[in-house]
Structure 1
Amino acid sequence: MERENSLKFSFLSSEVLLNRNVVLGLVSILAFFVFSPTFSNDFQLAWDDTWQVLENPLVHDSSLEVILYHFTHFWQGQYSPVNSLYYLLIDLLFGMNATAFHTACLLIHLINSWLVFSISLRFISRFLPSTGYSRTQGYAFFTALLFAIHPIQVESVAWISASKIILYGLFTLFAIWAYFRYIQNSKPIWLIITASAYVFGFASKEQAILLPLNLLLIDFAWGRFTGIKWSQFLSSRVVLEKISFFLLALAFLFFTWANSLGTVQQEAGYPIYQRIVFAFYSLVEYVFRFLTPAKLYFFHPYPMTPGESLPLFYWGYLLLAVIIGYFVWEHYRNGNPIVLIGFLFFLVNLVLVLHIIPLPRPVITADRYMYLSVIGLAWALIGWGQSWITSVKSKNLNIILLGGLVWMIFLGVQTNLRTAEWKDTESTKSNVIELIEKKREAEETDPLFNLIEHE
């Protein structure tokens, strides 16, 4: 028991002994510090907070009739009754106080970070068993901290209207945690809890519909398909367990389709080959924003309107995506499966927003779409780092760890600055204006842009 409740790791030749509560406390304190500007931030009056919260009639009526209406109707083309009830609860307790809403968002994000720590322990201990218990705990701490303070999370945490993201993240992570308990003891109650969390997750945001794919990924990673013959596949326990989840997914899809007829599809005018290029572009962009989030923006528009030709340089993202894929596969082939599993987790939780399915959104990428996918890239980074650490001389290890510390400090500073950019509508608008000006400068100075324009 003492082994399970302690964390012992070496950094710069010093050893620190921490229990799990202290680890989660450190994550919470650091996250509170880097997100501290959010407590003085206001509502985004021009970016959804008005119709989502301040003027949403469903948020200001706690009658049973209205609460039931939450769960049977869409509001402004979106289905998120749990999110509306979340707003209603805050309003009942604190009124329309921006600080209360921002504090609640941050608290839920911290709970999610704790769940990430617990889930990461299971993944890392399975795929890096030779690292030892102390380093496994250290890697799980790293993943939880990275999830908690990464700048790409700011949009989901500091924007009140994006609370759907952190709520669906909460129920999805809880469902994954419960599913691990089911795998561990095979008690049906944990499968029921997983399915219940799935329903609440979908009622927070439609993106939660992807949970069955996450469960299948866990089954694959834990070898639950091993030994099943094709003739027995459909009758196997691992498949029968998922029938209820896929039936729920089909019901969710039908419900969404039936209530979204007439919704304008932003990408309807883009041919499939352009949307495929958009998918590779988005994938590569998200990877690079994870590694080097030097400057993030609230609004990332499409490079052209439907009917126009695709800018030539976008085709280069196909090559970059192939390079990334080759890197991931080589690690898997060389006995480092956590890189592949982490990358698949990253992809699974992005699949709905990679443009293969047309999106009713005016943006090609958005930071909030990466909320859960950050976890997968963190696991892949750990797998790559572990293989690198074992190949370097021990005297260089502290230099590598110091570099990692500097990177984490950079992320924390960027998150703090990015959170301040969400202070109010004018601050957010200035962020969008800066992006537009940068794109205009690129078009005027970049020969490639000029060549495309003349063509």
Structure 2
Amino acid sequence: MAVLVFLPSLQNEFVNWDDDRNFYDNTFVVHSVDFASLIANTPAIFSTPIIGNYNPLSIWTFALENVIYGLDQPFYWHLDNLLLHLLCIFFVFRISIALGLNLWASVICTLLFAIHPMKVESVAWVTERKDVLFGAFYLAALYYYILGVKNKKPNQHLIKIMVLFLLSGLSKIQAVTLPLSMLAVDYLLGRKIIFKRITEKWFYFLISIFIGLLGIYFLRQQGSLNSSVDYAWYDRLFVGSFSYVVYFIKFFVPYRLIPLYPYPPQLSIIHYLSMIPAIGIVLFTIWAYIKEWKNLVFGIAFFTFNIFFLLQILGAGQGFQADRFTYIAYFGFGYALAYYLQKWASSPKNRTIINVIVSLYLVAIAYITYQQNKIWENSASLWSHVIKYHPNTTLPWGNRANYYRDSGFDRLALQDYNKAISLGENKPGPFNSRAKLFFKSQNRDTILMALRDYNQAIALEPTNGEYYMNRGATYARLNDLNSALQDLTRASELDPNNTTIYLNRSIVYHQLGQYQNEIADINRFLRLDPNNANMWANLANAQMLSGLWDLSLPNINQAIRMNPNMGVYYFYRAQYYYNTGNSAAAQQDLNQARQLGFQFNGGIENLRM
């Protein structure tokens, strides 16, 4: 059934919401073109956060997929997400059985996990590979822990669990809750919750603290702990209570499912009043604990443990809620509901009506899930859905415009950029993006419009290196090379690890005939990204133009090794051979360049530089 409801996701494209930064614009993923380069890039993948998030194992799976499938086959990337979700479903079923549900109730619990509409974001969005990947390791670790507890040997599978826990944590920071979930299992299976229950798990808590601190460090380093709205600290508590109650409700009634829930400019009375039901849930759980309703307490506790750190009380990202946050947490509710359905269905007179109600509910959520997958078909459908609910938010208009621009729908893109700017939020992003649309033009007046937009973006955010880089490229197109150099140099000061800056500046230096400066920038580029064959070839060409013939040959050979199908590389090497007196080798390379489609109408005698 899960395969059927998620079938539309297999036809979806990548989307321009973090898919770009996570893989198709991620240097370590893009340049993992074979297993050798994947191995070479692995240390960098495991030492580099992406958008402030440290989930290197998820990124590594993207690099592996690029090796196997390439970036033009989104079907297989989506298929891998679905297969991992199926693996999570398998462990949910095994856990349900291990925790005492009968087969009928375990199937219900598993289906509630498998086809719930709140799962769509985690499965249908490739970037959220981290959910299904961390979930598979997390649930496997929890399952083996349950087996050990039931055998009265909690540490029976210690090494296996620790490895799974570490892999889960390297997939997503949310895995830090595993020791708390273990405590919930202890309670359900009759192990008295005393201090010893905590101390016996010190090694799990140690891993949890390490992963958590590492994640917070990278979030803080990238500035991702700041939300788009600056609330007072006490308002943050109400953001948390509101999200907690909404997640509670959406398990039973999955309504208004949106990929982005932007922060409201200010909290409303509903946010403040949400503290009442949130406290009510806590008090009810304490009462249930006193009454020894273990299954209910376990369900609420498991949900709370796995959602608490995602309530955005600290604040991170552009939204204060996300459907994907409930991926693991909802198992708690699913288990508790299935347990009580099992209990009530033990009476023959209740069994039929319960089967009918459960069947109708499962069909209803299956339909919602099936339809929800279609929202993720492409970036236009994704952001159009967000705009339907949040028409006064800049981000969805700008992102939909980016999709239209990159797809060649310039008129639609311009309309959306204008709308984003008209919202009056004075954000530099839409100006920068609209400038990129104007920059594509061959008309000088339109390129001047790009220049004006870049000026506005820089005025609004004068410390953003990308804006100077883009304005520098615009000056270059307008043949104002000195202004281009000034902007690109400023960009390199603000963003010294941006390879595109050195690429663009090396081109300007080449146009000015400053080959030594060009060589210096290419070397800076290659220190950051040694897997770019074009830059090795450009380095060799600049060295030949500077008369550094002996230095150029190893570099052009490196380019040819990395990509032997580029005719221009053989043309460069032919120039080297001709100018160093090896005419036979030059002719051979020139013939190879022509066979590969490189157009050169002259004879070998015209190769002299």
Q: TM-score, normalised by structure 2?
A: 0.59
Provide the C-alpha distance between the structure 1 equivalents of 2:342 and 2:216, rounded to a whole number of angstroms. 45
SS in 1 for 2:171: coil
Q: Offset at 1:291?
A: 0.8
In the alignment, which of 110, 113, 134 is matched to residue 147 of structure 1?
Answer: 113
Query: What is aligned with 1:137?
Result: 103
Show the 5 A alignment for 1:30-429: 30-44=1-15, 46-60=16-30, 61=32, 62-96=37-71, 97-125=73-101, 136-185=102-151, 186=153, 188=155, 190-225=157-192, 233=195, 236=196, 238-259=197-218, 260-261=220-221, 263-267=223-227, 269-304=230-265, 308=266, 310-325=267-282, 327-329=284-286, 331-356=288-313, 358-386=314-342, 388-389=344-345, 394-429=348-383
Q: Residues 403 and 326 (structure 1 numbering): CA distance in 2 closer, same or farther, change over 3 Å?
A: farther
**CA contact 2:299–2:333 (8 Å) conserved in 1:** yes
SS in 2 for 1:32: helix
Q: Which amino acid aligns with 2:352?
A: N
Provide the C-alpha distance between the structure 2 equivalents of 1:326 and 1:65, rounded to a whole number of angstroms. 54
Q: Residues 324 and 63 (structure 1 numbering): CA distance in 2 closer, same or farther, change over 3 Å?
A: closer
Provide the C-alpha distance between the structure 1 equivalents of 2:336 and 2:88, rounded to a whole number of angstroms. 19
Provide the C-alpha distance between the structure 2 equivalents of 1:360 and 1:324, rounded to a whole number of angstroms. 25
Q: Offset at 1:193?
A: 0.9
Q: Residues 253 and 322 (structure 1 numbering): CA distance in 2 closer, same or farther, change over 3 Å?
A: closer
**CA contact 1:124–1:338 (8 Å) conserved in 2:** no
**CA contact 1:299–1:363 (8 Å) conserved in 2:** yes
Q: Which moved more, 1:361-370 or 1:49-58?
A: 49-58
Q: Offset at 1:170?
A: 0.9
Provide the C-alpha distance between the structure 1 equivalents of 2:64 and 2:353, rounded to a whole number of angstroms. 49
Provide the C-alpha distance between the structure 1 equivalents of 2:212 and 2:286, rounded to a whole number of angstroms. 33
SS in 2 for 1:73: coil
Q: Offset at 1:325?
A: 4.0
Q: TM-score, normalised by structure 1?
A: 0.79
Q: Offset at 1:217?
A: 2.0
**CA contact 1:336–1:383 (8 Å) conserved in 2:** no
Q: Offset at 1:85?
A: 1.6
Q: Offset at 1:245?
A: 1.5
Q: Which has the higher contact order (CA 8 A, sep 6+)?
A: 1
Structure 1 residue runs without a partner (length 5+):
1-29, 126-135, 440-455
Q: Residues 284 and 187 (structure 1 numbering): CA distance in 2 closer, same or farther, change over 3 Å?
A: closer
**CA contact 1:346–1:377 (8 Å) conserved in 2:** yes
Q: Which amino acid aligns with 1:406?
A: L
**CA contact 2:105–2:341 (8 Å) conserved in 1:** no
Query: What is aligned with 1:448?
Result: none
**CA contact 1:212–1:242 (8 Å) conserved in 2:** yes
Provide the C-alpha distance between the structure 2 equivalents of 1:58 and 1:223, rounded to a whole number of angstroms. 48
Q: Residues 159 and 63 (structure 1 numbering): CA distance in 2 closer, same or farther, change over 3 Å?
A: closer
Show the 5 A alignment for 1:435-446: 435-437=389-391
Q: Residues 254 and 311 (structure 1 numbering): CA distance in 2 closer, same or farther, change over 3 Å?
A: closer
Q: Offset at 1:270?
A: 2.0
Which structure has the bigger radius of gyration? 2
Q: Which amino acid aligns with 1:243?
A: W
**CA contact 1:147–1:375 (8 Å) conserved in 2:** yes
Q: Residues 397 and 239 (structure 1 numbering): CA distance in 2 closer, same or farther, change over 3 Å?
A: closer
Provide the C-alpha distance between the structure 2 equivalents of 1:399 and 1:202, rounded to a whole number of angstroms. 43
Structure 2 residue runs without a partner (length 5+):
394-609
Percent identical: 28
Provide the C-alpha distance between the structure 1 equivalents of 2:319 and 2:216, rounded to a whole number of angstroms. 21
Q: Residues 332 and 184 (structure 1 numbering): CA distance in 2 closer, same or farther, change over 3 Å?
A: closer
Provide the C-alpha distance between the structure 2 equivalents of 1:412 and 1:438, rounded to a whole number of angstroms. 31
Q: Which amino acid aligns with 2:186?
A: D
* 1:346-377 residue CA offsets vs partner (Å, 9 max, x unmatched): 01111111133x12212111000000011111
Provide the C-alpha distance between the structure 1 equivalents of 2:122 and 2:148, rounded to a whole number of angstroms. 30
- The CA RMSD over aligned residues, in Å, is 2.3
Q: Which amino acid aligns with 1:266?
A: N
Query: What is aligned with 1:5?
Result: none
**CA contact 1:294–1:414 (8 Å) conserved in 2:** no
SS in 2 for 1:124: coil
Provide the C-alpha distance between the structure 2 equivalents of 1:143 and 1:384, rounded to a whole number of angstroms. 11
* 1:211-257 residue CA offsets vs partner (Å, 9 max, x unmatched): 1211222223333336x6xxxx4xx4x44431112222232234334
SS in 2 for 1:350: helix
Q: Offset at 1:91?
A: 1.7
Q: Residues 396 and 180 (structure 1 numbering): CA distance in 2 closer, same or farther, change over 3 Å?
A: closer
SS in 2 for 1:72: coil
* 1:247-290 residue CA offsets vs partner (Å, 9 max, x unmatched): 22232234334444351433483223211111111111112111
**CA contact 2:21–2:50 (8 Å) conserved in 1:** no
Provide the C-alpha distance between the structure 2 equivalents of 1:303 and 1:384, rounded to a whole number of angstroms. 38
**CA contact 2:105–2:342 (8 Å) conserved in 1:** no
**CA contact 2:145–2:154 (8 Å) conserved in 1:** no
Q: Residues 111 and 264 (structure 1 numbering): CA distance in 2 closer, same or farther, change over 3 Å?
A: closer
Q: Offset at 1:80?
A: 1.3
SS in 1 for 2:46: helix
Q: Offset at 1:55?
A: 1.3
* 1:334-354 residue CA offsets vs partner (Å, 9 max, x unmatched): 443111101110011111111
Q: Residues 332 and 401 (structure 1 numbering): CA distance in 2 closer, same or farther, change over 3 Å?
A: farther
Q: Which moved more, 1:272-281 or 1:31-40?
A: 272-281
Q: Offset at 1:381?
A: 1.8
Q: Offset at 1:292?
A: 1.1
